[in-house]
Amino acid sequence: MAANVLVCIKRVPDSSSEVVLTDDGQAVDGRFAGFTTSPHEECAVELAVQVTAAGGGQASVLTLGDAEAVEQLRNALAVGATAATLVQAEPSTFGPADVAREIAAVVRAHEAEGTSHDLILLGNDAADSGDFQVGIRLSYELGRPVVNGARTLSVEDDHVVARGEGPEGTETYRVPLPAIVTVREGGVEPRYPSVPGRMKAKKVAVEERTPSAEPSGAKRVRMTLPPPVPSNVQILGEGAAAAPAVVDILEELGVLAR
Amino acid sequence: MILTVVEKELDGSAAETSLEGLTFARKLSAEGGGVPVDAVVFGEVGDDLRKDLAAYGVRTVYQVGGEAVAAYSGAGWASAILTVRQAAKSVVVMAPGSDRGMELMAHVAARAGVAMAANVLSFDGLSPFQVTRQVVGGAALEEMVLDQRPAVFTVAGHAVEAAPAESPGAADVVEHTPEVAAEDLVARVQSVEKLEAEEGSGLKSARVVVGAGRGAGGPDGFGDLEELTSLLGAALGVSRVVTAAGWRPHHEQVGQTGTRISPDLYIPCGISGAIQHWAGCSSAKTILAINTDAESPMVTRATYAVIGDLHEVVPAINEEIKRRRG
C-alpha cells in the first residue's frame, strides 16, 4: 500500500575526529569537525525512500535544529525525500521529551492541513546525546505503537513489518499503521546523492516552523571531557621484523593455545 | 528501594551486564543508608539464577510471567515493571545499558513522565540525585540531575566490575502476573529467527578479536587477517569504514553503532581509532595495534603496537605462529 513516511533526523557533530565542547559546557561544538546526519537516521531515510518507491506515498523529513540544519534536510531531499520541515530552535536546550512533543505538534499540524504520516521513522538513538528515547516518547505523545531498533522494514496491507536483532536472534514485528519505528544502522546501505538529486533538492521549499512550547530541557548540569589517558604504549617494532616480539606477547597472554 | 531489571542469558543465568547493574545498585544502596535492592526478571527464575541474585545482595526477586509478557513488547514489559515498582515502592528503577535495557527504561520514563539517563557511569550525590553518563560514544561525559521519582537510568557496560555482595540477600521469589492493556501489546514480537553461530554472536563473547579497518585496502584484503583469526581461535571485527564500503557485512562491525566488545585481547589492524570505533572496543583488557601511523589514536591508546603495514606485519606473525607450532 502507499504510505506517507516521515523521517525525523538530527544534525550532529561529526565525531570521527576530536570532540570539542562549547564554552558553556552545554553541547558538543561541531564548528571545527563539521556536522553530519546521525548514522541510524541515514539508514532511516534510505528505508523511507525504499518503502515509498515500492508502494507509493511520500517520504518526507523533519528536523529540530538551528538554521544550518537545513543542510541535513537537503541531503535527505537529494536521495529521494520530497518534502522537508525545519522546526527552528537551539537543539541543546531541548531534551528528549521536548523533541518528541515538537515532532508530535508538527504531525498533528500536518494532519490538520490534510497530510498524514502513516509511518514515522527515527534513529534508535542520536550519535551525540545517546538518549535512546525520542521515538518511544513520541509513541506516547501520539498514542501510536513503536518498534525499536529495526534494521529492515516493509509496508504490507496497512501494517509495517519491522525486523531487528533481539537477544535470541532476529525478531519480527507486524504492527498496524499508523506506527513509529526507530531504526538501527546495518540493515540497508544509505545511497549517495546524485548530481541531479542535489540540484533537485536545492529547489525544494523547506517548510519552517517554530516550537510549539518552551523546552523543559534535558536535566543536564554540564558536559565535560574525560581526562586524557597518558599513552603507555610499548612499541614492539616496525614492519615484519616485529613478528617474533608480537608472538612472544601472544604466548605471554596465553592466547596461542591450540 | 532500588528496582533493577535483570536480563538472562539463553541458558537462564544472569547476563554479566545485569550483575554489573546489581553491583552498581548496591553501591547506590550503601550510599543511601542500605535501602533494599530488588530485582525484576521476566520468565522463570531457576535455582542457579536465584542463588546468583542472592549472592549479589538481592532482597526480593519479582518473577514476572503470564501470557501478557510471554512475547516481548517494550510497552507491555514496561507497564509490568511499573506495577512491580509500585509493589516494591521503588524510588529508583534501573536496567543494564543493553539495547533492551535502554528500550525498557525509555518506556518506563515516558510512562512515568520523568527524565531518563542512559549509560550512567557513576553517581555524584543523592540529594539531589546526580549522575554522570557517557555521551558521544564515551568521548564526552554529561552530568545530569534526576530530581523526579522514580529516578530512571541504565548503567553503561563496564561502569563497575561485577562483584558479589559481602553478605547475601534473601532473594525471596515473588511471582507476579501483570495485567497489561491491549494497546501496550500491539507492538509485540511475532517471531524470532535464532542467530546463526557465525553471525556476530561470537564477536561479543570472543576472548580474542582481530580487527580490520581501512588499512585492509579493499574486499580482497582480509585473507591474512582471516588466517590470523583462525590461528588464534578469534573473531573478526571491522571498523565502520569497512562496512560502509561494503567490504564486510555489518554484523562484524565493532563500534558505537555496531557491536561493543570486551575481549582479553584486541588486535586492531589498520584501524586509526576514530571515536565511533573506540566506543566499541575500549573495554578490551589488552590492545595490540598494528598501524602505519605511530601517532594514530589507536596506537597511542594501545598496550602494545607494531608500526607498519598490516599486509607486511600480519603474514609475518602468521608465519611465526606456524613456525613455533612446528
Q: Cβ contact (<8 Å) for A137 and B110?
A: yes
Task: List the alpha helices (DSSP H) in chain B.
Answer: 16-31, 47-55, 74-88, 99-112, 202-205, 223-231, 240-244, 275-281, 297-301, 310-325
- Between these two residues, B198 and B173, which has the higher pLDDT value? B173
Residue A46: what pLDDT? 97
Can you tell me the mean pLDDT for A177-191? 94
Eight-class DSSP state of B323: H
Q: Does residue B198 have a pLDDT over 60?
A: no
Q: Does residue A171 have a pLDDT over 70?
A: yes
Residue A229: what pLDDT? 79
B307/A contact by beta carbon, under 8 A: yes
Please state, as a whole number, how many other Cβ atoms lie within 10 Å of the Cβ of residue B248.
18
Element housing A49 (H / E): helix A39-55
The backbone torsions φ and ψ at residue A134, rounded to the nearest 5 degrees and listed phi first, read -60, -45
Taking all residues of chain A, what is their mean pLDDT, rounded to a whole number?
94
Q: Look at strands B304-307 and B265-269 and give their pairing.
A: unpaired
Q: Does residue B139 have a pLDDT over 90?
A: no
Percent of chain A surpassing pLDDT 90: 81
Can you tell me the mean pLDDT for A198-222? 95
Residue A122, beta-bridge partner list: A8, A182
CB A46 within 8 A of CB A193: no
Which of A189-203, B134-148, B243-257 comes out lowest in average pLDDT?
Answer: B243-257
Interface test with B, best of A12, A15, A182 (most B CBs within 10 A): A15
Please tell me the distance from the alpha carbon of residue A40 to that of residue B137, in angstroms, as a whole number: 14
Residue A258: what pLDDT? 59
Rounded to two decimals, the pTM is: 0.91
Element housing A22 (H / E): none
CB A51 within 8 A of CB A3: yes
Please tell me the distance from the alpha carbon of residue A97 to that of residue A215, in angstroms, as a whole number: 9
Computed on alpha carbons and rounded to an integer, the radius of gyration of chain A in Å comes to 22
CATH fold match for the domains B2-185 and B208-324: yes
Q: Does residue B203 have a pLDDT over 90?
A: no
Residue A30: what pLDDT? 82
pLDDT in tens, A104-134: 999 999 999 999 999 999 999 998 899 999 9
Please tell me the distance from the alpha carbon of residue B226 to that of residue B211, in angstroms, as a whole number: 10
Q: Does B214 belong to an annotated binding site?
A: yes
Q: Cβ contact (<8 Å) for A179 and B189?
A: no
Q: How many CB pairs under 8 A join A and B?
A: 252
Chain B residues closer than 8 Å to A129 by CB: 135, 142
Residue B150: what pLDDT? 96
With 0-12 / 13-18 / 19 or more C-beta atoms within 10 angstroms meaning exposed / middle / buried, residue A53 is exposed
The backbone torsions φ and ψ at residue A71, rounded to the nearest 5 degrees and listed phi first, read -60, -45
Q: Does residue B212 have a pLDDT over 90?
A: yes
Q: Where are the domains of chain B?
A: 2-185, 208-324
**Class of the CATH-defined domain B208-324:** alpha beta
Which of A40-54, A62-76, B72-86, B274-288 comes out lowest in average pLDDT?
Answer: B274-288
Q: Does residue A177 have a pLDDT over 60?
A: yes
With 0-12 / 13-18 / 19 or more C-beta atoms within 10 angstroms meaning exposed / middle / buried, residue A124 is buried
Eight-class DSSP state of A120: E
ipTM of predicted assembly, 2 dp = 0.94
Give how far Cα B308 sits from Cα of B240, B275, B286, B292, Å.
Answer: 21, 22, 19, 4
Give long-range contacts, CB 8 A cutoff, 24+ apart: A51-54. A51/A3, A51/A5, A51/A119, A51/A153, A51/A154, A51/A155, A52/A2, A52/A3, A52/A4, A52/A5, A52/A80, A53/A80, A54/A154, A54/A155
Residue B142: what pLDDT? 96
Taking all residues of chain B, what is their mean pLDDT, rounded to a whole number?
93
Helix pair angle (A134-142, B99-112), 10° resolution: 40
CATH fold of B2-185: Rossmann fold (3.40.50)
Chain B residues closer than 8 Å to A40 by CB: 257
- CATH number of A5-209, picked from 3.30.110.30, 3.60.21.10, 3.40.50.620, 3.40.640.10: 3.40.50.620
Residue B155, beta-bridge partner list: B96, B120
Q: Does residue B164 have a pLDDT over 80?
A: yes
Please tell me the distance from the alpha carbon of residue A50 to that of residue A55, in angstroms, as a whole number: 9
Can you tell me the mean pLDDT for B239-267? 89
Q: Does residue B197 have a pLDDT over 60?
A: no
Per-residue pLDDT band at A18 (split at 50, 70, 90): confident
Q: Does residue B22 have a pLDDT over 70?
A: yes
Per-residue pLDDT band at B79 (split at 50, 70, 90): very high
A239/B contact by beta carbon, under 8 A: yes
For residue A167, give every residue at least 6 positions away whose Cβ sits within 8 Å of its Cβ, in sequence order, or none.
Answer: B7, B10, B98, B100
Q: How far is B166 from chain A (nearest CA, A)?
A: 31
Interface test with B, best of A42, A119, A125, A132 (most B CBs within 10 A): A132
Cell of A48: 523511507
Q: Does residue B217 have a pLDDT over 60?
A: yes
Can you tell me the mean pLDDT for B174-203? 85
With 0-12 / 13-18 / 19 or more C-beta atoms within 10 angstroms meaning exposed / middle / buried, residue A17 is middle
pLDDT in tens, B41-66: 999 999 999 999 999 999 999 999 99
Residue A164: what pLDDT? 94
Percent of chain A surpassing pLDDT 70: 98
Q: Does B253 belong to an annotated binding site?
A: yes
Residue A41: what pLDDT? 96
For residue A147, give every residue at least 6 positions away whose Cβ sits within 8 Å of its Cβ, in sequence order, or none.
Answer: A160, A162, A164, A173, A175, A179, A180, A181, A182, B187
Residue numbers of A between 84 and 103 with CB closer than 8 Å to B: 95-97
Can you tell me the mean pLDDT for B20-41? 95
Q: Does residue B178 have a cis peptide bond before it, meaning omega lies within 30 degrees of 0?
A: no
pLDDT in tens, A31-52: 878 899 999 999 999 999 999 9
Q: Cβ contact (<8 Å) for B102 and A132?
A: yes
What is the arrangement of strands in the sheet containing A220-224, beginning at the earlier edge strand?
A220-224, B140-145, B129-135, B116-126, B151-155, B92-96, B2-5, B37-42, B60-64, B172-176
Interface test with A, best of B10, B136, B231, B293 (most A CBs within 10 A): B136
> How far, rounded to the nearest angstrom, does the alpha carbon of residue B5 sit from its chain's CA centroid?
14
Which of A127-136, A168-177, B56-65, B255-264 comes out lowest in average pLDDT?
Answer: B255-264
Residue B195: what pLDDT? 65
Assign A45 to helix, strand or coil. helix
Longest CA pairwise span in chain A (Å): 71
A166/B contact by beta carbon, under 8 A: yes
Q: Which residue of A has its CA nearest to B297?
A: A231
Q: Where are the domains of chain A?
A: 5-209
Element housing A217 (H / E): none
Please state, as a whole number, how many other Cβ atoms lie within 10 Å of the Cβ of residue B161.
8
Element housing B154 (H / E): strand B151-155
Element housing B184 (H / E): none
Residue numbers of B between 218 and 237 with CB closer than 8 Å to A: 232, 234
Residue B205: what pLDDT? 79
CB A249 within 8 A of CB A236: yes
Per-residue pLDDT band at B100 (split at 50, 70, 90): very high
Q: Does residue A65 have a pLDDT over 80?
A: yes
Q: Does B275 belong to an annotated binding site?
A: yes
Of A169, A242, A256, the CB nearest to B321: A256
Of B129, B80, B148, whose CA–CA distance to B108 is shortest?
B80
The backbone torsions φ and ψ at residue A3, rounded to the nearest 5 degrees and listed phi first, read -135, 135
Q: How far is A205 from chain B (nearest CA, A)?
A: 31
Interface test with B, best of A40, A233, A247, A256 (most B CBs within 10 A): A233
Q: Does B255 belong to an annotated binding site?
A: yes
Residue B279: what pLDDT? 85
With 0-12 / 13-18 / 19 or more C-beta atoms within 10 angstroms meaning exposed / middle / buried, residue B202 is middle
Per-residue pLDDT band at B171 (split at 50, 70, 90): very high
Residue numbers of B between 170 and 209 with CB closer than 8 Å to A: 183, 186-195, 207-208
